[in-house]
Amino acid sequence: MRFAKIWLLFGGLLAHLGPAAGQSYSQYVDPLIGSEGLGRVFIGPTAPFGMVKPGPDCTSSPNSGWLPEPTPVTGFAQVHVSGTGGGPKYGNILLMPFSGPLVLGDKSAHRQAEHVALGYYRTQLAQPAISVEITASPKVSFYRLAYPPGQPRALQLDAGFFLGEQPEPDAREAQQFVGSEIEIVSDTEVRGYSRIRGGWNNGRAYTVYFAAVFDAPVAEFATWKGTRLQPGQRLQADSGEKTGALLRFASGPGDSLKVKVGISFLSAARASDNVRAELPGWNFAQALDLLRTRWNELLGRAELGADTPLDQKKLFYTGLYHTMLMPVDRTGENPLWNGPAPYYDDFYAIWDTFRTSNPLITLLTPERETAIVNALLNIYQHDGYLPEARSGNANGRTQGGSNAEVLIADAFVKHLPGIDYAQGLAAMLKDATVPPGGNEEQEGRGGLPDYQRLGYLPYGVPRAGNRTLDYAYDDYCIAVVAKGLGQQATYEQYHRLADNWQNLWRADYRSHGATGFIMPRDAAGKWLDTIAYGTSNIQHPTFVYTPLMREYPWYVCHWCGFFYEATSWEYSLSVPHQVPALIAKSGGGAAFRARLDTLFERKYYNVANEPSFLTPSLYHWLGRPDLSSQRIRQIIAQSFRPTPTGLPGNDDSGAMSSWLAFQMMGLYPNAGQPYYLLNAPLVRQTTLHLAGGKNFTITAHNLSATNCYVRAARLNGRPLRQAWLAHQDLVRGGELVLEMAAQPGDWGTQLLPPSAD
């Protein structure tokens, strides 16, 4: 009861807090944006950073569970991820209403009139015509089902279903069944669990416990194990086979049935407690209102001007929404160790999120980012390493560097309180100095002995190119924190190591008019013009390696190439801490501008790849913020739309969406560094409602389709001649006024953005 009161009181307080009071930002969120094509976002209802994500599962294949018609819905699972690539994860505890005899068999159905909104999902199953509505609280799914008049109200609960099942045992990135259990504990409650291993991060087994509670009594039931259906059998204990239950409910005054499914990672009893604590009653509308109130308070921390076009509001607020779906707050639900520290899971992956998602969380809800960083340190304390990615209570996978270090540095330079930065530095140094010992896909830095010996990763170490770039930036982040903590020797050491990207810079290599690229090099220091094709020990075939080369999917191993998910043309511009040095190595300002122009005009640039997120803004370091703004507008116009196919790539836990949200405001972070680049915004006015009751407003005077260049800027009434803004100037509150014009002037041409060098 105490938790229920806190939950209800919190919801009531939110309705009266801050500038969002009385305003419905949730109406501008369209969870279907990015749901089709490459976006792969989760479409169902959930709380901010919520543990449950109930929604339709259309076969066991899609990462987010959902696919559009004509794929039928298999059922509605309680746990999903959002926007991820690679192999699926979760899809646990499948619920499916039906009307008919209690027999085993496929109960998939086509959908009609599917409707999706923030906090709410509705559809009608075609045969039989059962209406399904869903909302949620942080740990509980809430279903309202309406059956055809006079038809039996029946329900299937499948504890054995999960996404990504493959017939091949231990298939890479496939989830694998371990065990399940189900029990009819009363005529209004069923409990059990699903235990699964593997998935995208090849993680150890995780267990999702559940408690399903009904507002009508069960009149008849049958449970199953494997293919054996046993009417009247209350318990199907775990013996390594899939289990489930078929339920028929007693006739009542209506044709509806309400179901609450609580989950826990500790026990089924805890899942049942979560139901009572978070949703003690049966008022579906009240639960939906409470969920939307919580979302409105967060979304309203960035308030767009009233005259902002509807499509822009949809893109912006959906972007904020996507950013706050993951990681997942599982504080108090950690099955591995106890303690009061925050615990978050589904960092999926920090390689994707450190650039824009986490900085946006820092800006809108800094207390949440503090908890996230403390969760990383909590994991380090118990598992021995900071995660680069984590899901199902297991670290993995590493795609590039040990990029949790960027989150710690970003929190440090932005003065987030309540974090033990000395411990943070120790965790960062562990990544940088201690090889993970054969566990390189899970945590730490792969190839670390080679990196320490050579100052780069030689070809043959998987992802040697992008890892070397990441390690150099991660070492810069170590230097930043060390300097701030007065560790001068450590600062000097890692400030030098931040130059290591230059050890793979092949200065004499030319491609399409550009000079100098990150290129493969062997352990003896030799540049490699040709690369072995495959692993044959007989014929030794090779191919010529160029800066436009992609080594997969026809190369032997997707994860084993020199670069991960991009080319040298893209990655050679990914040096966020030393842009002036990058410009110098490219031949100076004129050559660097020509290089950027070639990248965009020849379509070598791919906004769907996170290491390219900063690239359109690199014109800032040439004193040409107008060109940055021009490229950004072109990218958004070509790649983002308020439609189901409106994201150009995997949303990657909100990375793609947060990039867009920042650019629409006219801000762009350089993670790990305490400033924002200023670009021409897409909206006329944004007010950020900050911690401590402060506001910061960005106003673009005379903004239009033609007046799309910043000619002048004033910060709190004083001229601001630089095209960047310190974080501390923003969080102090105030107003940034941008004077827009049809032609660029000299604004931002002289005072260039900061750089480590």
User: CA nearest 264: which of 253, 285, 278?
Assistant: 278
- Quickly count helices (H) and strands (E) in the chain: 18, 33
Each domain of the chain, given as residue ranges in start order, spans 2-299, 302-677
Task: State the Cα–Cα distance between residues 483 and 490, nearest whole angstrom.
Answer: 8
pTM for the predicted model, two decimal places: 0.95
Q: Are 688 and 363 in contact (CB under 8 A)?
A: yes
In this prediction, the residues of the chain whose per-residue pLDDT falls under 50 are 1-21, 553
Nearest Cα neighbor of 518 from 526, 530, 506 is 506
Tokens 């912006």 sit on residue: 316
CA distances from 397 to 147, 470, 553, 559 (A): 44, 15, 19, 11
Domains 2-299 and 302-677 share a fold: no
d(CA 628, CA 617): 5
The reported pLDDT for the residue numbered 554 is 54
What is the predicted pLDDT for the residue at 1?
A: 38
Strands 709-715 and 685-689: unpaired
- Separation of alpha carbons 39 and 657, rounded Å: 10
Tally Cβ neighbours within 10 Å of residue 687: 18
For residue 571, the surrounding DSSP H or E stretch is: helix 568-571
The residue written with tokens 């569970």 in the block is 65
CA 692 vs CA 300, 650, 669, 682: distances in Å: 15, 35, 22, 27
Q: Among residues 615, 622, 660, which one has the least CA distance to residue 641?
A: 660
- What's residue 370's pLDDT? 98
For domain 2-299, the CATH architecture is: Distorted Sandwich (2.70)
In 3-state terms, what secondary structure has residue 379? Answer: helix
Residue 509, both tokens: 């290599």
Q: Is 413 left (phi over 0), alpha (psi -120 to 50) or beta?
A: alpha
pLDDT digits (tens, 9 = 90+) for 637-647: 999 999 999 99
- For the domain made up of 302-677, the CATH class stated in words is mainly alpha
In whole angstroms, what is the distance from residue 656 CA to residue 667 CA?
15
Q: Are strands 724-726 and 675-678 parallel, antiparallel or unpaired?
A: antiparallel
Q: How many whole angstroms from its chain centre is CA 721?
A: 35
